[in-house]
Amino acid sequence: MTREGEAVGRPWWSRRSFTCAAVAGLLGARFAPLQAFAREDEWLAIILGSIQDGGLPQAGCYSERCDRARRDPHYVASLGILEPVSGRAWLVDASPDLVRQMDLFPGHAFRARASERRPFEGILLTHAHIGHYLGLALLGREALAIQPTPCYCSSRMAEFLARNGPWSLMVEEGRLDLRVLEPDRPTRLADDLTVTALLVPHRDEYSDTLGFVFEGPRRSLLYLPDIDRWENWDRRIEDVVAGVDIAIIDATFYSAAEIPGRDRSEIPHPLVTDTMERLGDLVGGDRSVVLTHLNNSNPVLDPGSQERGRVLKAGFEIARAGQTYGL
């Protein structure tokens, strides 16, 4: 029998599940016990945040959008995987908003585990840009002081954490048990939950960058919050999205006009317009395509904007903290 954390069987793309599980809905986790909406054998994927690393509001931003967000804060992009009955949870990227994001995990079982300093069965990291790993510090000695926890990442990310403080202290103290994921090889997280890491092109100053495909008992989910451009990848995003039930993907910028005074080659991401053109035929039905990692300049963040209307009319979803999907 394969133990948790070990590589398993066939790759995810050869095991695509076509079952039609209902989306658990846009239910704020703090307002209702999600156990009532989940089967005992079902894992839940919870969007913990949907904003680019700098946050919303962002430092130095006093636009109407950022001022509105000061009254209604958004969280930096992150994902949680939860088994509601047991409270077992995995964290995908540790953002600077981690304290508030942990409140989005529903149920007494998770909170009981957190109070015992073991909130997560494991942490998975995509890469070493600030929005994706700085929250680890909130789990260290000066804060929660977590008990030993597996931390799944690439080899370069593991090396970065082991060699640079304060993360290296968490490794030395045994709080982070670094486990390297081999790209395109499924790894079992639980008896009915696997993850497959996908190597993606991105600005890899400190580490390389991963996306993840999770497979639960009934549904599969792609989490890919950062990539330079779809055409730079060694595979077609259309094929990857066609192989999953839920795709939560990079939508940092709607258009190139959003960042005046900045060279977009320094911060490359796919444009929402390009993504919609590529994936328009794949949305709807049993498949959800969800846009995340939104920059503070992105007009789809505005409730009444034409851009947001076009995205929703085309069948795409816009990520917001608290959205929940059954796996």
Q: Is 135 or 6 the better-scoring residue by pLDDT? A: 135
pLDDT digits (tens, 9 = 90+) for 154-204: 999 999 999 999 999 999 999 999 999 999 999 999 999 999 999 999 887
Q: Can you give the pLDDT at residue 4?
A: 55
Predicted confidence (pLDDT) at residue 107 exceeds the cutoff of 70: yes
Establish if 108 belongs to a structural domain: yes
Predicted confidence (pLDDT) at residue 131 exceeds the cutoff of 90: no
Query: In which residue are the tokens 């911060």 written?
Result: 267
Q: How confident is residue 40, by pLDDT bands cut at 50, 70 and 90?
A: low
Predicted confidence (pLDDT) at residue 72 exceeds the cutoff of 60: yes
Establish if 138 belongs to a structural domain: yes
Q: Can you give the pLDDT at residue 255?
A: 85
Q: Give mean pLDDT, residues 255-265.
A: 72
Establish if 327 belongs to a structural domain: no
Q: Are strands 78-83 and 44-49 parallel, antiparallel or unpaired?
A: antiparallel
Q: Can you give the pLDDT at residue 1?
A: 39
Q: Can you give the pLDDT at residue 284?
A: 81
Predicted confidence (pLDDT) at residue 227 exceeds the cutoff of 90: yes
Mean pLDDT of the chain: 87
Establish if 11 belongs to a structural domain: no
Compute the distance between CA of residue 156 and CA of residue 225 in angstroms, rounded to an integer. 18
pLDDT digits (tens, 9 = 90+) for 237-251: 999 999 999 999 999
Instruction: Quote the number of domains for the chain.
Output: 1
With 0-12 / 13-18 / 19 or more C-beta atoms within 10 angstroms meaning exposed / middle / buried, residue 305 is middle
Contacts of 88 (CB under 8 A, 6+ apart): 82, 113, 121, 190
* Structural domain harbouring 239: 16-322
Establish if 298 belongs to a structural domain: yes
Compute the distance between CA of residue 181 and CA of residue 27 in angstroms, rounded to an integer. 32
Give percent above pLDDT 70 in the chain: 85
Distances (CA, A) of 1 to 46, 188, 189, 190, 191: 29, 11, 13, 12, 10
Establish if 4 belongs to a structural domain: no
Q: Can you give the pLDDT at residue 12?
A: 47
Predicted confidence (pLDDT) at residue 148 exceeds the cutoff of 60: yes
Predicted confidence (pLDDT) at residue 260 exceeds the cutoff of 80: no
Give percent above pLDDT 90 in the chain: 69
Predicted confidence (pLDDT) at residue 311 exceeds the cutoff of 50: yes
Q: Can you give the pLDDT at residue 29?
A: 36
Establish if 199 belongs to a structural domain: yes
Establish if 1 belongs to a structural domain: no
Q: Give mean pLDDT, residues 135-144.
A: 95
Edge-to-edge strand ranges of the sheet holding 324-326: 176-180, 149-153, 122-124, 88-92, 78-83, 44-49, 324-326
pLDDT digits (tens, 9 = 90+) for 283-301: 988 899 999 999 999 999 9
Q: Can you give the pLDDT at residue 268?
A: 79
pLDDT digits (tens, 9 = 90+) for 272-282: 999 999 999 99
Q: How confident is residue 265, by pLDDT bands cut at 50, 70 and 90?
A: low
Q: Give mean pLDDT, residues 220-230.
A: 94
Q: CATH number, domain at 108?
A: 3.60.15.10
